[in-house]
Amino acid sequence: MADKVKKIGLLTGGGDCPGLNAVIRAVTRTAILKYGYEVIGYKYGYKGLYNNDIVPLDLNSVSGILHKGGTILYSSNKDNLFNYQVEENGEKICKDVSDVAVENLKKEKVDVLVVIGGDGTLTSARDFARKGVKVVAVPKTIDNDLAATETTFGHYSALDVATDALERLHTTAESHHRVMILEVMGRNAGWIALRSGIAGSADVILLPEIPYDINKIVAKIKDRGESGRPFTIIVVAEGAKPKGGNVVVQKIVSDSPDPIRLGGIGNKLASDLEQLISNHEIRCTVLGHLQRGGDTSTYDRILSTRYGAAAVELIHEGRYGNMVCLNSDKMTFEHLENVIGQIKTVDLDNELVKTARSIGTSFGD
């Protein structure tokens, strides 16, 4: 049993995704209804923790948010308090301001901090745990690339959006005999491209894990034409790259802890294919942040609720410094020291890859 807990703080960091509000709701309702804890939220992630920008969370404030995308606490992916940009003597410098956050927690008499986020956000959670802060973490990434857990909330909502887009592209591709390319998220792991590609009947799926040969894609397009199917659907993860080539960088965000922003591989692929194929029009659609927005899917509403309730159970049991995980469809936990930097990528022998190959899908290799 944990030491007496009276008040917990909650923040969401990194990019938003469907399910964040459902986690906030589950944490708040479980904390209040089951254990009588007081709950506050920090706005804009770690920035709010630094500025002590708080909002009370009660049953009324989390009512009606289960299905909504985004986060009522707002978020930021630029605020690492262990390397935070501040202005001193008219100059902008980066310094460790984590002690300010610790003092703010003490000021508000917060006993436990619940952190919801991806690898970057969880890295800071681990670092706060090392400083003695009682932390419980909930994993968040639509890419589903955290190794310690089978599935992260938001992933299947993003899949629904990508699959719907592929279905819509299919009809116009067939009508005009075009090659239609859909670029989806997936920096290091191609789970969105792989799963939506199978569900959306893509002819070619390009993943970060499998560098592609442009000539193999051309061959697939020509083979389909010769077989009486003069159109092709391609789904490509933003982190995909040609054999011997590099990822396409859209821009550099200098004030971000993770400054490289990928994007543009879909248009590059379209340009490359246009030079090799003369009898097809090629169009590219970049799905972008549409994958992050909108209502939360049924599956993710349930999963997010399970994550939030499980986080409060860890608090009740005094299991601090841990992240809630889903393993064998059961809520478990893993120490933060063991989950940071452990990326779950698509294995070439993955059953889904084998299934896609069995039905004739090309991976450009």
| Residue 145 falls in the annotated catalytic set | no
DSSP 3-state helix, strand, coil percentages of the chain (rounded to 5)? Answer: 35, 20, 40
If you write DSSP's letter for every residue of 213-265 in order, what string do you get? -HHHHHHHHHHHHHTT---EEEEEETT--BTT--PPEEEE-TTSSS-EEE--H
Hey, how many other C-beta atoms are within 10 angstroms of the C-beta on 232? Answer: 26
Q: Judge whether 71 and 20 are in contact, CB under 8 Å.
A: yes
CA 164 to chain centre: 19
List the catalytic residue out of 79, 119, 143, 300: 143
From CA 252, how far away is CA 260, in angstroms rounded? 5
From CA 122, how far away is CA 341, in angstroms rounded? 10
Taking alpha carbons only, the member of 342, 349, 217, 206 closest to residue 273 is 217
Reading the block at residue 7, the tokens are 């008040």
Q: Which residues are catalytic?
A: 143
